[in-house]
Structure formats: C-alpha cells, structure tokens
Chain A
Amino acid sequence: DVKVTQSSRYLVKRTGEKVFLECVQDMDHENMFWYRQDPGLGLRLIYFSYDVKMKEKGDIPEGYSVSREKKERFSLILESASTNQTSMYLCASSPGTSDLKTQYFGPGTRLLVL
C-alpha cells in the first residue's frame, strides 16, 4: 500500500513564526503536491513538484515556499505565518506520467496560527 505521512497532525504557531510542514512518501512517486483545504472551498493547490529539486506554483503560492531535496520528501514552508494561513494542509503524491490516475493523500496537518 502507498503510504504518505505528514510530520504533524496538529500544529499551533504564532503570527510571524516560520513553519515547516514535512511530507514523506514511500512509493517512489515522481509527483508530490501540497494543498490546503478550507470549509466551503475545494482543495486548493499551493505548490507541486514533478521531480527532485523541481517545483511549480499552484493556484495560491503566495506566502508559501517548498523544498524537494530528495524524491521521497516534499516540505512546505510558511516563511512568516499569518492567521489567514490557519487551515488543513494536505500532502499528496502520484506516480509519474505512466499512471496519472490517482493521487494518494497523507492524513493532513491542521495548522492554527494565533
């Protein structure tokens, strides 16, 4: 079974803090994604990566950055956390172009910024 893990299930941070969210997948997937999910809105893509050291902006990259130094790990960084970044953050991975059917999600990190 594909396993996608995220470093924390719940996180509380203060405004202005630098926040790191880590995601690791164990199935050698090329593609990795970071979404945020807010009530009444669909999943919104923040950043994605289709290879090591490669990254592409999604729909809402402002206030975020990412790092992919190793294939299995994709980190989301909030440079200076703000209250409007309080949300559920979901990481996902998918195989390369040979199978674009599914994305596999981690359990999510619920972030509260005070």
Chain B
Amino acid sequence: GQNIDQPTEMTATEGAIVQINCTYQTSGFNGLFWYQQHAGEAPTFLSYNVLDGLEEKGRFSSFLSRSKGYSYLLLKELQMKDSASYLCAVRDRGSNYQLIWGAGTKLIIKP
C-alpha cells in the first residue's frame, strides 16, 4: 500500500537547526514534495525532490534517498515565523496528478 509517516510535532529554539523526517512507501515513486502551512492558511510549496541527494534553497534544504524511502527537510537559523506545519507528499507513478500526503509535522519555535 501507500503510506507516509512524519512526526506529529517538534519543538526547536530560535536560531537553531531542525530536521523533519518523512518516510514513505509507494508502489511507483515519482517525486517528493515539502509544503509549509501556517495555521489557518493554505499550504505553500517549499521543495521538490525526484533524484537522490540534497536540494538547498536558502535556509531550507530537502534530502531524498529513494532506496530507503526517506526524506528530510532541514531548516537552519530558525525564525519565529517558521512556526508552522510541514507537509510531506509523494507522487505515485500510477497517477501523475495525485499526491499522497502525510499528516504533517507541527513545528513550534521557542525564543
């Protein structure tokens, strides 16, 4: 079957680094996405990985290992505005239009 797991909640300190993990099982992997969602708002796109390795974009980086069914989102120099939920989603080759979504990780940043 298809399944995505990520921690429910994490807490980190302003200025620190945090890593949010995502593991997935899918029959035909075709890309992994990370989205950020502030409370009461729509998800916004952060990153996309389809090949193994690290993709860096400013303070945010995303890593993928297809053989391990594993990804992480790395947030550096944390700011209070990074308090949000982070959603991991995987596209399955069976349908190019559909994403399978994790339940999201709520990240709480403390001063």
Q: Which residues of A contact B (CB under 8 A)?
A: 4, 31, 33, 40-45, 48, 50, 56, 58, 90, 94, 97, 100-108
- Enumerate the 8 nearest inter-chain pairs by beta-carbon distance, A residue then B residue, closest first: A42-B101, A105-B42, A43-B101, A102-B45, A42-B103, A101-B48, A105-B43, A107-B42
The contact of B97 among A40, A94, A106, A107, by CB within 8 Å, is A94
Interface residues of B in 50-90 (CB under 8 A from A): 87, 89
Docked pose: A29 CA to B31 CA in angstroms: 20
Give per-residue flags for B95-107: 1 if the beta carbon is below 8 A from chain A beta carbons, else 0.
0111111111000
> Are B103 and A41 touching (Cβ within 8 A)?
yes
Complex CA gap A100/B98 in Å reads 10
CB-CB < 8 A to B43: which residues of A? 43, 90, 105
Q: How far is the CB of B50 from chain A (nearest CB, A)?
A: 9
Asked whether A43 and B96 contact (CB < 8 A) given A90-B43, A102-B45, A107-B41, the answer is no
Task: List A contacts of B102 (CB < 8 A).
Answer: 42
* A residues near B31, Cβ cutoff 8 Å: 100-101
Q: Which interface class (under 10, 10 to 19, 20 to 34, 35 or more) fits B?
A: 20 to 34
Q: How far is the CB of A52 from chain B (nearest CB, A)?
A: 15
Beyond the given A33-B97, A100-B91, please list 18 additional residue pairs across the A-B interface where CB-CB is below 8 A: A40-B8, A42-B104, A43-B87, A43-B89, A43-B99, A43-B101, A45-B98, A94-B97, A97-B96, A100-B31, A101-B33, A101-B48, A102-B45, A102-B48, A105-B44, A106-B42, A107-B41, A108-B41
Measured in the bound complex, the distance between the Cα atoms of B41 and A85 in whole Å is: 19
Q: What's the Cα separation between A114 and B84 when bound, in Å?
A: 29
Chain A residue numbers with a CB within 8 Å of B96 are 97, 100
Least distance between A68 CB and chain B CB atoms (Å):
14
Measured CA separation A103–B33 after assembly (Å) = 10
CB closest residue in chain B, given A45: B98
Minimal Cβ-Cβ distance residue in A for B46: A102
Tell me whether A42 and B42 are in contact in the complex, defined as CB-CB below 8 angstroms, given that A48-B98, A58-B98, A100-B31 are known contacts. Answer: no
Give bound CA distance, A106 to B96, whole Å: 21
